[in-house]
Amino acid sequence: MKPTIYEVAKKAGVSIATVSKVVNNTGRISDKTKKKVTEIMHELEYHPSSVAAALTGKQTFTIGVLVPDISNPFFAEIARALENSAREKGYGIILCSTDYQSERENDYLEVLFKKQVDGIIIATESSDWKVFEKMHRRNIPLLMFSIDHPAFSSHVVTTDDVRGGYLAGRYLLDKGHRHVAMIAEIDRVSGRLRLEGLKQSLMDEEIMLDEGLIISSKSKIDEAKVAAQKILKLENRPTAVFASTDLIAAVFINEARKANVSIPNDISVIGFDNTIHAELTDPGLTTIAQPIPDLACYAIHQLLQSIEKPNSSGHRIMLSPELIERASVKDLNNM
């Protein structure tokens, strides 16, 4: 069947220790035997078993990634970026969609632990960090991705949502908008932070955001439709809307069109996330892009750090998002 290190050793006329050394390029072995062994390995199509290696204390070169739902384009992007960065460092990823259920999250963590993954990246907004504490006690490196909580002692890598909201607000102000509304995911931390950023930008111009202009909605098509209609029906309609996610923004654009409200002529829209939706709306959606590849890169880097030397205290890395200008915001100046 599958050849083992013994077969190779025997055929090459050396000990398994020697073979192991040439495989891992450790210890001292003469070029001659090195060559010989390498040849035999090819001949036999020998591939060392990571499983056996892991048992001796080596890493598994596998990291677990917990996301709420990979079929959501935003998390798909994240998974993709994480996978990419991980691969560059020689790691594979085990994907876990928790479906926002903390029970499933629990189960997956258990499985990952048993599989002896080298680390876990958590991008689910769990309500319950007791499980994380448990993992932490078990000394398995964790990294919180795009989520944060003062209680976390592990590494945290997030987008600076406040700044993102601020950027959006600042941009609208620069374009002459004074009367803006927001459709916010207020049940999520990131949603609240984005709102906070918007408020701060308006504050710069001494504008107070009226509570009536803050509409709550999850990032789901149905809810977003309702939220959009609320705004469109406002008697004193704002000149611009900041949507907490691109999906919400995309839905808003559609609803606006149905209501015969032109984007951006009658009302401007700005989104958040720069997912594929932003490119497919008409007009193209101006939005705040999360630096996902950078986030992923930092995340993997930090995680590998704490794999190398455990118990190093957790850093918090916050990357600034960036505004991507398309065509959904109208310039109100010099008109």
> What is the 8-class DSSP label of residue 183?
E
Contacting residue, 10, 11, 25, 27, with DNA by CB under 7 A: 27
Tokens 């939220």 found at: 227
Asked if the peptide bond before residue 264 counts as cis, ω within 30 degrees of 0, the response is yes
Residue 216 partner contact from a copy of itself, DNA, none using kind-dependent CB cut-offs of 5 to 8 Å: none
Residues 198-237: x where in contact with a copy of itself by CB under 8 A, - otherwise, as a string: -----------------------x----------------
Residues 50-69 that bind a copy of itself (CB under 8 A): 50-52, 54-55, 60, 62, 69
Alpha-carbon 159 to chain mean position: 9
List CB contacts of 314: < 8 A, sequence separation 6 or more.
152, 153, 154, 155, 156, 306
Quick one: 27 or 212, whose CB is closer to DNA? Answer: 27
Backbone phi and psi for residue 323, each to the nearest 5 degrees, phi listed first = -90, 130
CA 279 from centre of chain: 20
Tell which positions 54-83 bind DNA, by CB under 7 A. 55-58
β-pair type (322-324, 286-289): antiparallel
Q: Which residue of 77, 118, 125, 160 would you call a contact of a copy of itself, by CB under 8 A?
A: 77
The residue within the footprint of a copy of itself, chosen from 32, 42, 138, 309 (CB under 8 A), is 138
251 binds, among a copy of itself, DNA, none (CB under 5 to 8 A by kind): a copy of itself
320 touches a copy of itself by CB under 8 A: no
CB contact at 8 A, 199 and 182: no
Distance CA 20, CA 279 (A): 52
Q: Which is nearer to a copy of itself, 214 or 259 (CB)?
A: 259
Neighbouring residues of 210: CB distance < 8 A, sequence distance ≥ 6: none
Q: Is 42 in the site for DNA (CB under 7 A)?
A: no
Identify residues 143-202 at the interface with a copy of itself (CB under 8 A).
none
Shortest separation between residue 264's beta carbon and a copy of itself, angstroms: 15
Q: Could you tell me which of 194, 172, 197 has the C-alpha nearest to residue 248?
A: 194
Query: Which of 25, 32, 71, 150 is the binder for DNA (CB under 7 A)?
Result: 32
Sign of the alpha-carbon dihedral angle for 259, 263, 268, 270: positive
Between CA 252 and CA 273 the distance in angstroms is 15
Residue 211, judged by CB atoms within 10 A of its CB (0-12, 13-18, 19+), counts as: exposed
Q: How far is the CB of 231 from a copy of itself (least distance, A)?
A: 17
Least distance (Å) from DNA to the CB of residue 137? 17
Kindly list the residues in this chain that would bind DNA in the complex (CB under 7 A).
2, 4-6, 13-18, 20-21, 23-24, 26-30, 32-34, 46-49, 52-53, 55-58
Kindly list the residues in this chain that would bind a copy of itself in the complex (CB under 8 A).
1-2, 47-52, 54-55, 60, 62, 69-73, 76-77, 79-80, 83-84, 92-97, 108, 110-116, 138-139, 221, 247, 250-251, 253-254, 257-258, 276-277, 279-282
